[in-house]
Amino acid sequence: MGIFIYPLLLLLLYSGQLYAASELQPPTPSSTSPATTTDSSPAPTQADSPISQTTDNILPLEIVINGTKSGTWLLVEHDGEMYAPADAFEEWRVQLPPDVKSIKLTHFDQPYLPLSAVPGYRFKMDFANQSAELLFSPQVFSATRLTQEKSKKPVTSKVLPSLFLNYDLNYSTSILRDAHTIRDLGLLTEFGASNSLGVITTSHIGRNLTNDDTLGNPRTWVRLETTYTKDFPDRSRTLRLGDTSTREGLWSRNIYFGGVQYGSNFALTPGFVSQPIPALVGVSTAPSSVEMYVNDVLRQVSKVPTGPFAIDNFPLLTGSGDVRMVVRDIFGRETVIEQSFFITTDLLSAGLNDWSIEAGRLRQDIGVASSNYGPKFVSGMWRHGYNNDITLESHAEATSQQRALGLSVVSTLPKQILGKASLAISSEQNQKGAHWLLGLEQQRLRSNVSFQVKGSTVNFRQIGQDNATSPTKLQIAGNWSYSPQNTHSFGLGLASISLFDNTRITTLSGNYSVRVGKHSNLSFTASRAIAGADGTSAGIFLVIPMDNNITVSSSANVHGDQQDFYTSASRNPNHESNFGWRTLAGYQQDRTRAEGGIFFMGRYGRVSSDVSTSSNQTAIRIGASGGLVLVDKHLFPSEQVNQSLAVVEIGGYNNVGIGLGNHVLTHTHTDGIALLPRLLPYQNNAIRLDPNDLPMSAEVDTIELNVVPAWRSVVKVVFPVRGGRGALLTVMFEDGEVAPPGATMKIEGDTQEFYIARRGQAYITGLQPSNHVLLNWNNQQCKIDVTLPPEIPDEISRIGPLLCKGITR
């Protein structure tokens, strides 16, 4: 606007009279102004509009719109109406009808549009301040949308090749009163290797390794799973080769197989939300703050400009409830907007796809046989967010003998109800079958209701299903729970199963829970078989949390003629103590019983010991679990490797605490290296060292570094720490004067520079017992030999004056 300053001053001199500080509806025409041309047709959209000559009044004014300053603009009074340039409406976010007529100024390219075309238009001129206040209806402003900021996918750190071993060893001795003592040793292992190409693992289980004849089965060693996994975080997809399981759908079940699986994996993108997030809408008459209360709890505060707004950076919740938005504008006026919401992970956002394809051979007798693979198969599942209210699902599977195909839909219904429906057909040797499912769910703040009914024809088969076993003819399940207050809740349940042999079992159940005191909880349960069987059971449970992470519980159950009651107490390990214990005493299965155990959770795994005794036997169990990791030519004992890890180096300093955030998880060894577990894959992990564990002479640039490891892989983290001692050196030149301030010094072979201050002194760190120090000044350099005196605790060594030869001032 600066190029218009001088023309505007001239225009003001010829403008006649300006408006007094009063409201104009509409402004009074003026008689003197530069010549302009007018366009009687919609000029913004038509370039060949007719033009005629007239006189207008051009006013440079500071504009305030609905209470917000919007800068200085040139307004034009034409035929008793006020006009503003087209780009002003864009910057003000004001929307005009498409058929608005415009005028064109002779010396300006862009068209001018009438302010009176905006609904709710009011104009107020302030002559003293050369400003004008414009008021528009809030609905004419472009809508503001506060969306969830898309988290950038962090770059995965370089993977360090590694090998790892997980183990879970258990030994038990059972001393029977009238039989032989049984000794059993079991071992569960998992071997793994990871590098930049992915992760490969294989697991095995050994049973009866003591080869005790009384167990009835000989010593066995069975392979469980062997799997290669490759993640593609940039595409949110995962490839698996080997033993794995299919994805479970609404009507289909997951099965173990050996082969290949490829599909989407949203977990590879931290912060990604696959379900629809509701948009909460409102209108603000002026710039406002919006306080959002979800179920009467303040969740967030946002700032919105004038006009309609939509908030879909909704706090991630599930279920349904009510939102109350308090809109408070800059004038202190409040408006309350109430709206209901419904969020569920069963729905996909509009346009989002979730899919998986599998092919291979069905795995049979897993845990019993190492390599028993059945018929070949292929299967696939595809879910699609048709819109935010409807998600479609299809699933197909086939072997050489069987086929199955099904379609499903999940949809929101009125009254915040979620509906589910499936229909599937199958064929096997010319025998066709069908399966169907209907379900309804409603989750509210105080109550939850669910009802599902599904059934099959006698010939319906899924792959991997035993042909000798008929499917369930009809299955009904319903649950209802209600929590009128935070102190108590109750619920009812119904379950019914009908088989093709005319067997039918129907059971009713109920529960009630009430808080006792501040933290204790008392629960009652009861169930009754009302068809197909005869049985009643009832129970009472009391849970009492105590200090020091101790929990005491008691229970009593009655089922037919059998009565059980016991009391237990336990303490779980936490960050303050690695030790835990548990005790139990009571009457179970018509016998007195007592149990006790202790366990230790340490840096290298878990060790436990248990003993139990009853009227007919005493059992002793000892267990240990942990892992070993071979990486970067080091062998580390560790807890079980189930997540990602980091090798941390700290310049040869031992016993330095390393952890995630403020939680120390391990310490460096004598060589200054440690293995840090529990890193989250594909996320930023803030690895921090404890500076209090470093000596005073050690210098570290940062105590926290971020890494993004791949799944079950190892990354390397090096904290640059400078060692040695610090000393205050005084340097003199050959002219007898001290070195000038601003000269620099550094230890030969080191990049760290130090500046000389007043009196020719410089404090230098990283010094060894003998050193060569270089001084640089005015493009000249000298070398000084520095020998440290014996170290005195808590004192800084002062050395000098030292002579610097070869530098002239």
508-534 pLDDT, tens digit per residue, is 999 999 999 888 999 999 999 988 777
- Whether 700 and 741 share a structural domain: no
Report if residue 105 sits inside a domain.
yes
Residues 6+ apart with CB under 8 A from 188: 167, 168, 203, 204, 205, 206
Q: What is the domain range of residue 768?
A: 725-804
CATH code of 75's domain = 3.10.20.410
Which pLDDT does position 5 carry in this prediction?
Answer: 39
pLDDT value of position 749: 83
CA-to-CA distance for 51 and 35, rounded, in angstroms? 12
Residue 380 CA neighbour count, 13 Å, CB half: 5
Pair 672, 766 in one domain: no
Task: Give the domain-ending residue among 142, 170, 190.
Answer: 142
In terms of pLDDT, which residue wins out, 491 or 725? Answer: 491
pLDDT band at 590 (very low <50, low <70, confident <90, very high): confident
**Residue 70 shares a structural domain with residue 112:** yes
Residue 752 and residue 709 in one domain: no
**784 and 702 co-located in one domain:** no
Residue 190 and residue 165 in contact, taking contact as beta carbons nearer than 8 Å: yes
Mean pLDDT, range 154-165, rounded to an integer: 94
Asked whether the bond before 154 is cis by omega within 30 degrees of 0, the reply is no
Average pLDDT of the segment spanning 614-638: 94
Same domain, 645 and 770: no
pLDDT digits (tens, 9 = 90+) for 377-387: 999 999 999 99
- Domain limit, last residue, from 110, 142, 174: 142
- The CATH number that applies at residue 657 is 2.60.40.2610
Average pLDDT over residues 28-54: 38
The answer to whether position 204 is within a domain reads no
Instruction: Kindly indicate the confidence band of residue 23, based on its pLDDT and cuts at 50, 70 and 90.
Output: very low
Residues 9 and 138 in one domain: yes
Q: What is the CATH number of the domain that holds 295?
A: 2.60.40.3110
For residue 389, is it within any domain?
no
Q: Which residues contact 2 (CB under 8 A, 6 or more apart)?
A: none
pLDDT of residue 563: 87
Instruction: Give the confidence band of 149 by pLDDT, cuts at 50, 70, 90.
Output: low
pLDDT at residue 151 above 80?
no
The reply to whether 20 and 33 lie within a common domain is: yes
CA nearest neighbour of 433 among 245, 257, 251:
251
Question: Do residues 26 and 108 share a domain?
Answer: yes
pLDDT over 90 for what percent of the chain?
Answer: 55
How far apart are alpha carbons 762 and 496 in whole angstroms?
A: 86
- Predicted confidence at residue 522, as pLDDT, reads 95
Asked if the structure places residue 235 within a domain, the reply is no
Q: How confident is residue 595, by pLDDT bands cut at 50, 70 and 90?
A: very high
Q: For the segment 760-792, what is each residue's pLDDT rounded down to a tens digit?
A: 999 998 888 889 999 999 999 999 999 999 888
The answer to whether position 609 is within a domain reads: no
Contact 437, 452 (CB under 8 A): yes
| Residue 316 binned pLDDT confidence (cut-offs 50, 70, 90) | low
- Residue 124 lies inside a defined structural domain of this protein: yes
Number of domains within the chain? 4
Residue 589 is assigned to a structural domain of this protein: no
Report pLDDT for 148.
66
Q: Is the pLDDT of residue 323 over 90?
A: no
Flag whether pLDDT at 753 surpasses 70.
yes
Q: How far apart are CA 335 and CA 327, in angstroms?
A: 5
If one compares 553 and 79, the residue with the highest pLDDT of the two is 553
CATH number of the domain to which 743 belongs: 2.60.40.2070
Confidence of residue 465 (pLDDT cuts 50, 70, 90): confident
Domain match, 753 and 796 both: yes
Residue 18 has pLDDT above 60, yes or no: no
The answer to whether residue 31 sits within a structural domain is: yes
The whole-number pLDDT of residue 102 equals: 83
CB atoms within 10 A of CB 410: 24
The neighbour count for residue 451, using CB atoms within 10 Å, is 15
Same domain, 698 and 644: yes
Res 341: pLDDT: 79
Asked whether residue 647 falls in the same domain as residue 744, the answer is no
pLDDT tens-digit profile of 227-275? 999 999 999 999 999 999 999 999 999 999 999 999 999 999 887 888 8
Global pTM reads 0.78
Give residue 150's pLDDT: 63
Name which residue leads in pLDDT, 102 or 397. 397
Q: What is the pLDDT of residue 213?
A: 80
**Which of 343, 361, 383 represents a domain boundary (last residue)?**
343
